[in-house]
Amino acid sequence: MALSIRIATTFALAMVVAATLSARVHAANVLLQGYYLNPGAALVNGAYTFIMQNDCNLVLYKTSQALCSSRTYNMGTACFFTLQFDGNAVLYTELGVALFSTSTYGLNDGSHYIILQSDGNEVMYNGSGTPIWATGTNGFFLTQIEPLDAATLESLEHAKSAGVLSESP
């Protein structure tokens, strides 16, 4: 009897821990370094949702319209998206196979973060507040998440200096 109560208590505690760890995010729309999105977890800002789907696809939606995707549909199970301390954000399978990366390794100079902005753009900022990667979906339709090119980065810098772009979570 005591053993079955102990097992039930352990199981209940494990379920609470699993639910708590399903999305380690700082705020509803911010992912900090060392944090991750497990299947079903999402960053949300108004009509926009950046979700790690159960099918292993990382998708940015505006209401029900997909704006961009990692194109990793059914490429694994129990996949998760994490912002690593090295400056790179990576989508991994449950076996640790990297399926997608922001290609920002080594660009972190402090506490970087990813934020889903109110304009629908998913942006990674380094510790200095400089954008180093973005989906480029600020109101536009894309099909693939791509790293920032120099022109986009310059455009984001101008928007930030004009006070149009969010600088902090």
Residue 137 belongs to domain with CATH number: 2.90.10.10
Q: What is the pLDDT of residues 137-167, one digit of tens each?
A: 764 433 344 444 454 445 445 444 544 333 3
Residue range 88-117, pLDDT digits in tens: 899 999 999 999 888 888 877 778 899 999
Q: What is the C-alpha to C-alpha distance for residues 32 and 113, in angstroms, rounded to an integer? A: 5
Residue-wise pLDDT for 119-135, tens only, equals 999 999 988 888 888 88
- Position of tokens 């996949």? 79
Domain presence at residue 9: no
In a domain, 28, yes or no: yes
Q: Look at the chain and report how many structural domains it folds into.
A: 1
Q: How far is CA 83 from CA 5, 22, 71, 74, 165, in A?
A: 39, 15, 19, 22, 21
50 vs 126, more confident: 50
> Is 7 within a domain?
no
Can you tell me which residue has the tokens 């076996």?
Answer: 95
Please give the share of the chain, as a percent, with pLDDT higher than 70.
64
Domain that holds residue 34: 23-161
Listed in sequence order, the residues at least 6 apart from 99 whose beta carbon sits closer than 8 Å to its beta carbon are 56, 70, 72, 75, 76, 79, 91, 92, 93
> Is residue 108 one of the residues assigned to a domain?
yes
Question: 42-45 and 48-52 as β-strands: parallel, antiparallel, unpaired?
Answer: antiparallel
Whether the pLDDT of residue 55 is over 60: the answer is yes
Q: For position 138, what pLDDT does the model report?
A: 61
Please check whether residue 3 lies inside any domain of the structure. Answer: no
12 domain residue, yes or no: no
The pLDDT score that the predictor gives to residue 34 is 92
Strand partners, 31: 114
pTM of the model: 0.67
Longest Cα pair distance anywhere in the chain, in angstroms?
68
At residue 21, the pLDDT reads 41
pLDDT tens by residue, 56-80: 999 999 999 999 888 889 998 899 9
Residue 2 lies in a domain: no
107 part of a folded domain: yes
**Confidence check: pLDDT of 35 > 50:** yes
Read off the tokens for 95: 């076996």
